[in-house]
Structure 1
């Protein structure tokens, strides 16, 4: 039986993206948990749109999912030395909702990328973008899956013992942070 509610977020929209695979691997190692998968297919942030129509329903859904979760695991790629635009857009939109659903929320960040650094710069920048939200952002262990296209099997499972061990430790720490309250 699920004791906790985990929200997983991929900063990549592609169905077969390695960050989506890593996000699902994180959920598998966090078990047992009720799982919610966030959808970052949101309109681009536009102050005029917000003023005319308010917060879009899909943005409010994301904010509500963050608020309802006991913990959040984010896996974000690195595009042009930083987090994906969809990830930054989601953070910008959620910051405009009435409450701060991130406040006090345990959050684990990880990345997968084609390069040899595995999205390290993206993850560093993403961590700084999360600071204003006052979440309980885990400081580590840092997980940067390098050459990510070769690191998953046909079932979407990590093939490297080193990455798997780091992910298990990260999810154990996230679970412990939830239980710490």
Structure 2
């Protein structure tokens, strides 16, 4: 049984990426899953001055400990103007200051969704390129386009996308064995 940490790169209380994370974790059995709602985890905007003056917040140290205590991450990143949100980039900036390789040895299922037809693929590509710099191994990716048309409380509506999502999840889970 692997320890999996799951969260979205969004701090919105209505995050569609967090909804995708919750669906994904509901499909996982026989693993220890911790799901974080990042809307409950505010972080100040990174600055070297703030880092020198106040150091690292307890919530940041706790997030790093949660990451280090997991074998894998289920992460869904939102997109703002073709890139990851400032919130998510800020979280990565803070974490990398504590330990540049804070994701060393961590397997990642990286996902994205948006209301548009590209499904956050711009952000997904940026983050997929970025995470290995911190030691992560992105083992599978999935993008859900047109969230409002393809998602309901029952899950992913389009059968092809549903199968693609399940395949990505299976690849991730198989990598944890």
**What's the TM-score once normalised by structure 1's chain length?**
0.89
Partner SS, residue 143 of structure 1: strand
Give the alignment of 1:78-117 within 5 angstroms. Answer: 78-98=79-99, 100-117=101-118
Aligned to 1:149: 148
State how far apart, in whole Å, the 1-side matches of 2:124 and 2:82 are.
Answer: 10
CA contact (8 A) 1:116 1:147 kept: yes
Aligned to 2:165: 167
Partner SS, residue 125 of structure 2: helix
Compute the RMSD of aligned alpha carbons. 1.6
CA contact (8 A) 1:21 1:157 kept: no
Comparing 39-48 with 113-122, greater Cα deviation is found at 39-48
Could you report, residue by residue, the CA deviation over 1:105-158 in whole angstroms, capped at 9, with x for unpaired residues? 0011110011111111110001122121121111x3x321111122222x3622
Partner SS, residue 30 of structure 1: coil
CA contact (8 A) 1:106 1:177 kept: yes
Q: Which has the higher contact order (CA 8 A, sep 6+)?
A: 1
Give the aligned length.
174
**What's the TM-score once normalised by structure 2's chain length?**
0.90
Comparing 19-28 with 30-39, greater Cα deviation is found at 30-39
Comparing 38-47 with 168-177, greater Cα deviation is found at 38-47
CA contact (8 A) 1:64 1:101 kept: no
Task: Identify if the C-alpha distance between structure 1 residues 156 and 66 changes in structure 2 by more than 3 Å, giving closer, same or farther.
Answer: farther
Could you report, residue by residue, the CA deviation over 1:25-44 in whole angstroms, capped at 9, with x for unpaired residues? 12122323222123352221
Aligned to 2:33: 35
- Residue 158 in 1 paired to residue 159 in 2? no
More strand by share: 2
State how far apart, in whole Å, the 2-side matches of 1:132 and 1:120 are.
Answer: 19
- Residue 47 in 1 paired to residue 37 in 2? no
